[in-house]
Amino acid sequence: MADLLFTHSYLILLFPLLSFVTISLRPVQLSPKMAGRFAIGCQGLSMLYGLAVAAAYWQTVIGQPQLYPARSLVCFDLAWLNFSPTLTANMGIFLDPISVMMIVVISIISFLVNIYSVGYMKDDPGFARFFALMALFSFSMLGLVISSNILQMFVFWELVGMSSYALIGFWYQKPSAVAASKKAFVVTRFADTFFLIGIIVVSFYTQSFDFQTLNSPETAALLDHTFMLGIVPINLLTLATILIFTGGWGKSAMFPLHIWLPDAMEGPTPVSSIIHSATMVVAGVFLTARMFPLFAASEVTLAVVQFVGAFTALFAAIIAITQKDIKRILAFSTLSQLGYMLFSLGVAKMVTGIHPGAEINPLGYSAAMYHVFTHAFFKCMLFLGAGAIIHAVHSNDIMDMGGLRRLMPKTYWSLLTACLAIGGIFPFSGFWSKDAILLAALQSGHYIVCAVGLATGGLTAFYIFRFFFLTFHGRARSKFHDVRENSWMTFSIMALTIPTVTAGMLEHLFVSEVTVPGLAYTPNFSHPLWLPTLASLAGIAGISLAWTFYGRGRTEAAERCRLRIAPVYQVIYNKFYIDEVYLFITHKIIFHGIAAPIKWLDRHIVDGAMNLIGEFLQQGGKAVRLLQNGQLQLYLGVTTLGFIALLFLGR
Amino acid sequence: MMSDLLFYGLVTTLVLLSLLAVSLPNLLHGAIALIGSFFATAALYIMLQLEFVALSQIMLYIGGIIIFMLIIILLTSGLGQENRYMVKGRRRAAGAGVSALLLIGLLLTISQPSETLQKATLRAAPVTMDDIGFRLMATNKNGFIIPFEIISILLLVALVGAVVIARRDNGQEQES
Amino acid sequence: MTLIHFVVLSLTLCAIGVYGVLTRRNLIGILLSVEVILNGANINFAAFAHFRASDPAAGAIFPIFVMAVSGCEMAVALAIIISMYRRKKRLDVYKLEELNG
């Protein structure tokens, strides 16, 4: 039974693909309503099948550790491209703890978001197109997580990028949406280029794309040599892993490639929801986790991952405090949470000398995956809730909201759990995953990162409750018409409270089962009690501060505070002017400094030479044309002259 | 010496009439000068004892071709009016230069000491009409039957073609 | 009255004809000049037939062929000129330049 499930595990992918093909290519005519139902049905089947596979995996692989010591299972692996006798790209399905976990998360969230979208996208002219693209999106992401080799993963990786491009620019009549989708695509493509180079470097040396080969210690030893690039010594392993990580860097929108994510809010809210929880941005974290053994073999790479993650976590949290657009607050919150995940992966490398004999602390890895899991649900819910609010209020600005608690009670209570979860309040899911992350940082000896994590936790609680209080409490700051909860939408939101509240129970499961592949090391999960206490205190402090400033929907105290630190506030509100820096670099330096001279060269030297040749030929043609003037007697005269010339020459 | 005088007189007349034929402004006058030059040519043929060619010259050229030409002139220009297209002196000079060069070149070519030309004073027996007739119809190696038939077909084709070209189409030509 | 006289005469007629071809502005004038050239050629044939008497009959036949071909030429030329005149109402070779490049 389980074997049969595994053999046909491609069905998980096939249902969304079927939905996409059916709705977009229309082999049968579907009304928009039917298209939505059909998409939900396909997603539901995909989810059921995914859950079945997960259960079978649980029973077969996890339940029999003696048969599956690596806890992984290759369902099938077909040769796809034969580059050379030794290098073949396969297409296959690879199940291990993290891919099974991602299948569960993606299929459940896609299903719920699809249900939600029926309410949200109601009356939109692109209703059917929306569901087709959503199906493509979940197809791509599911394909990404079950890839058996890195090239297949890259293919799906780009499909994810492409479908997110289509979805962010879904309302293509809006110039801002088009610009945002272009920005997202260009930035992630920019990063993906490095990813591809990394793939080429690695596969060139190892003659393999397969994850199991790439993650083996032999590969790390093979790659681990230093060569000189000019005068700079470069370790090939570090170079290759950082190149691969750059792909995840851009996809997960880590600083300084984060600029596309806030703009991606131009898409419909369900799209933001699925991008931020289960698909697009998680791909970067997933990639890092998937390649973790190889990354961990390098001295530098995990330090880079850790630094980037920690910095982005703090950086994005600070920006989130000042934002007024409800979706942007959540976008920066996602950045911050992704930072958590990445630095959690980064801290899995022990500081030398903390625990003699152990180099890798698998707790960081498990904690990161655990946070991916919990975050997906509560962030999805936050976005769906925000979408419901926007749908009701027709505004994105939290300053226009307020007092929605009575009008939208179901959303209110559901979102409260999500806010508590992201704020890290016991016993909601976020508390447990953040606690695990902080513990991993502490155990590995990265005390600074641990402190950054704690501080970010406090900031997170503050900004999320600022959003919460300003939206739901106090009195309405603008007139709302006809605020009503849509049952399609509230169903999804309420369904998501279940994992949000209860996912904390899965902590021990993650810690013991979702471990670094090929590392026989039982994690040390002994808790110093002061750590969760401190984290909770930071969260509670953040909430209290938010209540002081914004409780009952007040804004006056916050306004006074804002005026006192106006210059700093301005800098933060403008996202540290990173976008402007990019604009400066691209427009002033690249466009004017590099592109303009090149353009000048092209216009005047290259084109000039071509024009000169063309002009010469044209003038020559004109000159020759004069002979061909249709004057009969000129022809005859010239012929006679030719004859005379022959007479004289022939003598 | 009588025949030499006659020859030079005929040659002078022929060259002068030919010059007139190519340079008279009025085409009708030019055509009449051409008729005169053809008569002179016919006289030269008789001096060369080629009576048949002389007769053909008069009958075909003067009786046929020149009459054709006169018909064209009269058809196209309304009794010789509008024949005087102005020709610039420069063009005349250029044409004269080119033809003078041609003449000089040709004369230089034949001025080479050549036995063929120098000693060619032998007079052949007169060619009778019988000779010409038999040779034209002869089917042996030296016969001209095939060129003769081809010429006859060519004439037929040319006449049919002339009719086809000159026929007034009932289509677009009437409007122009 | 030798062969050389006749050859010079025919070359002169040819040059005169070329002059006419190059200077005549009327299409019919050009045809007329071509007749002068052909006339010179005919005289040449006849003279050679008379003075180089290896095969005088052949020399006498050739001018007749020339006349026949010339007749064809005139017939076709008449047709072309008539139809051209019908279209253009003029036979000025300066203006007949549709074939220019």
A541-558 residue pLDDT tens: 888 888 888 877 677 777
With CA atoms as reference, report the closest residue to A468 among A523, A408, A536. A408
| Three-state secondary structure readout of chain C | CCHHHHHHHHHHHHHHHHHHHHHCCEHHHHHHHHHHHHHHHHHHHHHHHHHCCCCHHHHHHHHHHHHHHHHHHHHHHHHHHHHHHHHHCCCECCCCCCCCC
CA atoms within 13 A on the CB side of A377: 28
**Mean pLDDT of the region A485-503:** 84
Q: Is residue A14 within 8 Å of A106, Cβ to Cβ?
A: no
Is A265 domain-assigned? yes
- Do A347 and A260 belong to one domain? yes
**Mean pLDDT of the region A385-402:** 82
pLDDT tier for residue A263 given thresholds of 50, 70 and 90: confident
Sequence-ordered list of residues with C-beta below 8 angstroms from that of A181, at least 6 positions apart, any chain: A165, A166, A168, A169, A264, A266, A267
Distance CA B59, CA B77 (A): 26
With H, G, I as helix, E, B as strand and everything else as coil, classify residue A526. coil
Is A2 domain-assigned? no
- Do A213 and A256 belong to one domain? yes
CB contact under 8 A, A637 and C30: no
Nearest CA in chain C to A634: C22
CA distances to A12, A233, A346 from A304, rounded to whole Å, are 35, 18, 8
Note the pLDDT of residue A358: 65
For A271-290, write each residue's pLDDT tens digit: 888 888 878 888 888 998 88
- Do A546 and A586 belong to one domain? no
Domains: count for chain C: 1
Instruction: Check whether C7 has a pLDDT greater than 70.
Output: yes
Instruction: Check whether A622 has a pLDDT greater than 90.
Output: no
DSSP for A71-87, written as a single string: --EEEEEEEEEESSSS-
Note the pLDDT of residue A486: 78
Is C8 domain-assigned? yes
Is A57 domain-assigned? no
CA B63 to the chain's CA centroid: 12
Instruction: Check whether B79 has a pLDDT greater than 50.
Output: no
Is C24 domain-assigned? yes
Instruction: Check whether B123 has a pLDDT greater than 70.
Output: no
Domains: count for chain A: 2
- Do A548 and A642 belong to one domain? no
Per the listing, tokens 């004017």 go with: A592
Q: Given CB atoms, is A622 within the 8 Å cutoff of chain B?
A: no
Q: Given CB atoms, is B6 within the 8 Å cutoff of chain C?
A: no
Comparison of pLDDT for A625 and C62, the residue scoring more: C62
Specify the CATH number for the domain of residue C31: 1.10.287.3510
Is A639 domain-assigned? yes
What's the whole-number average pLDDT of chain C? 83
Comparison of pLDDT for C53 and B54, the residue scoring more: B54
Distance CA A272, CA A265 (A): 6
> Which two three-digit tokens encode residue B3?
């025949």
CB contact under 8 A, A644 and B98: yes
**Residues β-bridged to residue C26:** C92
Note the pLDDT of residue B175: 46
The minimum CA-CA distance between A643 and chain B, rounded to whole Å, is 8
Range of the domain at A637: 579-650
- Do A490 and A604 belong to one domain? no
CB contact under 8 A, C11 and B110: yes
- Do A569 and A584 belong to one domain? no
Least confident range of A267-271, A435-439, B138-142, C91-95 = C91-95
- Do A256 and A368 belong to one domain? yes
Distance CA A542, CA A467 (A): 12
- Do A548 and A583 belong to one domain? no
For A304-356, write each residue's pLDDT tens digit: 888 888 899 888 888 888 888 888 888 889 888 988 888 888 887 776 666 66
Sequence-ordered list of residues with C-beta below 8 angstroms from that of A108, at least 6 positions apart, any chain: A47, A499
For residue B166, the chain C residues in CB contact (below 8 A) are 78-80, 82-83
Note the pLDDT of residue B176: 42
Instruction: Check whether B73 has a pLDDT greater than 50.
Output: yes
Nearest CA in chain C to B136: C61
Distance CA C12, CA C6 (A): 10
Is C70 domain-assigned? yes
Note the pLDDT of residue A204: 85
Distance CA A375, CA B76 (A): 101
Q: Given CB atoms, is A641 within the 8 Å cutoff of chain B?
A: yes
CB contact under 8 A, B94 and A644: no
As a whole-number percent, the residues of chain C with pLDDT over 70 amount to 92
Is C97 domain-assigned? no
H or E stretch at A233? strand A232-235
For A409-455, write each residue's pLDDT tens digit: 888 888 888 888 888 888 888 888 888 888 888 888 888 888 888 88
Distance CA A313, CA A311 (A): 5
Distance CA A493, CA A120 (A): 12
Is C100 domain-assigned? no
Note the pLDDT of residue A548: 84
Note the pLDDT of residue A524: 66
Is A360 domain-assigned? yes
Range of the domain at C30: 3-88
- Do A214 and A335 belong to one domain? yes
Is A26 domain-assigned? no
pLDDT tier for residue B39 given thresholds of 50, 70 and 90: very high
Least confident range of A87-91, A159-163, A568-572, B93-97 = A568-572
Q: Is residue C15 within 8 Å of B106, Cβ to Cβ?
A: yes
**Mean pLDDT of the region A458-467:** 89
Is A325 domain-assigned? yes
Nearest CA in chain C to A638: C22
Sequence-ordered list of residues with C-beta below 8 angstroms from that of A361, at least 6 positions apart, any chain: A347, A348, A349, A350, A355, A440, A443, A444, A523, A524
For A119-153, write each residue's pLDDT tens digit: 888 888 888 888 888 899 999 999 999 888 888 99
Is C21 domain-assigned? yes
As a whole-number percent, the residues of chain A with pLDDT over 70 amount to 96
